Structures are given as C-alpha cells and as structure tokens.
Structure 1
Amino acid sequence: MNQETVGARPQLGRPIRNFSVLLSPTPRGARLGRLLAVEQLRCWGLPLDPASQIVAELAANAATHGRVSGRDFRLTLYVVGDTLRIEVTDTRGDRLPALPEQAPPDAESGRGLLLVDALADRWGVTPGPPPRKTVWADVLTAKGDRR
C-alpha cells in the first residue's frame, strides 16, 4: 500500500509532506521504489537529483543486503521545510551498513553508500523495533543550501 499525507500545520511556512510504500525485497522492487519516488518528487515540484540516485542506492541495498524472504522493505519520503528525508526500512537490523573506505577498482558493487555519502547532506542508520533498521538520508531542496 502506498500512501501520501500532507500535514495540516505548516512548518517553516510549508506543509509537511509524506509518502510511504512497501516494496518487495527484489531488484524489481528496488527499481519500482526509484520510479515511484521520482514521480512523487515531480508531483511535489522538487528536484529529482540527487534524491533519485540516493533512493536507487538505498533501495538496492535493502533488496540485496536487507532481504528476508516474505518481508517487504519500506520506502518513505518526508519533506519538512527545505529538507527531503529519504528513509528505507528493512527487516535485517542485525546487518548494519558500514561506509567502505574504497571499493576495489574492478569491483562491480560496493559503492552505494559511498555515493549516498557524497550526494546526501547527512545520512545515517536508526535501529528500529527488532528486527528492523532504517537507513536515512537528508537532502536540502532549497537552492544555494547544498554543501
């Protein structure tokens, strides 16, 4: 089930926006998450980059490293003021992501969190009620506020 809510009380002069969807922990689910996020960002009138790339990386990680058969992962987008928060929650709280120092040049994977670290203004991991964890990234949406 996907859901969009808009808060009734404005924060920083703007409404609080929220979009959430459950997705299968598969490559197809990760792709669908990116496509849905892009469409939601368009509806909100927000820039697609770098948010779409961050969603793609976090969703791919959830489908690859956070996969538990029969358990979906959740993609959530929040907009509060000038900040877009991207959250991906999976059911592998026992597998916390770690930022690699560097992926080998010939490796076909291992750069996802390096990209998230480079593109997001902030990111981190929040343990959830067991067995969950949420990997999140914040992106400033106002022009001139990017680092």
Structure 2
Amino acid sequence: MTAPFAPQPTVTVRVFTQRLSATPRGARLARHLALNQLHDWGIPYDTPTAENIEVIVAELAANAVTHGRVPGRDFELRLSLVTGSVRVEVADTRGEPFAAVRPSGPLEDGGRGLLLVDALADRWEVLDREPPPGKTVRAEVDVPGWPALVGRVGSDG
C-alpha cells in the first residue's frame, strides 16, 4: 500500500454517493458517473487527475462486481472532494477477508487491478464496511491547484 492516510482531519467540500448493481454494467456506470462528477467539480475529463481516478474507480468497481458480489446486493461508489484530494470509496457486502495484492503472471487475464490502484493513488487502504458486513476500499488522489478548485466548487451552489 502507499503512504498512510494523514492523521489530521480533512474538510469535505462535496460528496457524491451512488449504489449500483453488482454487474459489469454497474461497474461501467460507476466509471462514467465518476468522470461526470469530477467534471462537475471542475476537474476536466482529460487531466491526469481525472484519468487516474477513472482507472481507480474502474478497477475497484470491477473488483466489487467480480470478487465482492453477493447475489441481490449492490455495491456503493462514494466520491468525496476533501482537502487537497479526491477520495474514492467502493464498498461491497462480501464479508470475506480482503485478498492481498499479488503480482500476476504475464499470461494471466486479471490480477493487476490493485497494483494499478497502488500505482495511481497517493494513498489507499481497505476498511471494514460501515455498516457491516463487507469491506470498503478507499483511495485518494491529490489534486494539483486545490485552492483554485475550491473557489470554483464553492461558488456553484
């Protein structure tokens, strides 16, 4: 995992939360919703920040659908614009312990998702889901030019 989360409290400026079906379609929708929300917050689609968050959301949503799926239960996407960064949280309802990050072989189709999250996020961790059962994977991506972004977001209502 990358650098630990800072112990000081953060100030949340904006939050977006959506429950999605634990299906491939739900995972794709999570990525599209995240990009649109970032754009609404003043983080353009073609910036490195948006692109990194897009990949993180895609990987975490795919993991929630593939490994965290419980029949009849949704997964949740939560984006928070916090002091200096965007926080991505994807929660599923599978109560099994979290599988460690492991390198995949060159011929394997999968197994690289959390390695990508580790490479693209400035910080990430796995938490017990609140309320239980399940887990939440939280990742943060720092936003360059944060003070200017806060001024734009704060003025849009």
| TM-score higher than 0.5 | yes
Which of the pair has the greater relative contact order for Cα pairs under 8 Å at 6+ separation? 2
In the alignment, the residues of structure 2 paired with residue 132 and residue 103 of structure 1 have an alpha-carbon distance, to the nearest angstrom, of 25
Aligned residue number for residue 45 of structure 1: 42
Aligned residue number for residue 66 of structure 1: 68
User: Displacement, 1:31?
Assistant: 0.2
Aligned residue number for residue 117 of structure 2: 116
Aligned residue number for residue 139 of structure 1: 141
Give a deviation string over 1:31-89, Cα, whole Å, max 9, x none: 00000000000111124120000000000000000000100000000011211100000
Gaps of 5+ in 1: 1-10
User: Displacement, 1:95?
Assistant: 3.6
Give the paired residue count.
130
Aligned residue number for residue 23 of structure 1: 20
In the alignment, the residues of structure 2 paired with residue 131 and residue 44 of structure 1 have an alpha-carbon distance, to the nearest angstrom, of 31
Aligned residue number for residue 5 of structure 2: none
In the alignment, the residues of structure 1 paired with residue 95 and residue 123 of structure 2 have an alpha-carbon distance, to the nearest angstrom, of 20
Match of 1:98 among 82, 97, 100: 100
Flag the 1:18–1:126 CA change in 2: closer, same or farther, 3 A.
Answer: same
Supply the RMSD in Å over aligned alpha carbons. Answer: 1.5
Is 1:82 aligned to 2:84, yes or no?
yes
Flag the 1:97–1:17 CA change in 2: closer, same or farther, 3 A.
Answer: farther
User: Displacement, 1:113?
Assistant: 0.3
The share of aligned pairs that are identical, in percent, is 55
Q: Secondary structure at the match of 1:22?
A: strand
Q: Secondary structure at the match of 1:48?
A: helix
Q: Which amino acid aligns with 2:69?
A: R
Q: Secondary structure at the match of 2:108?
A: coil
Aligned residue number for residue 127 of structure 1: 128
User: Displacement, 1:98?
Assistant: 1.4
Superposed structure 1 runs of 4+ greater than 6 Å apart: none
In the alignment, the residues of structure 2 paired with residue 82 and residue 43 of structure 1 have an alpha-carbon distance, to the nearest angstrom, of 17
TM-score by length of 1: 0.84
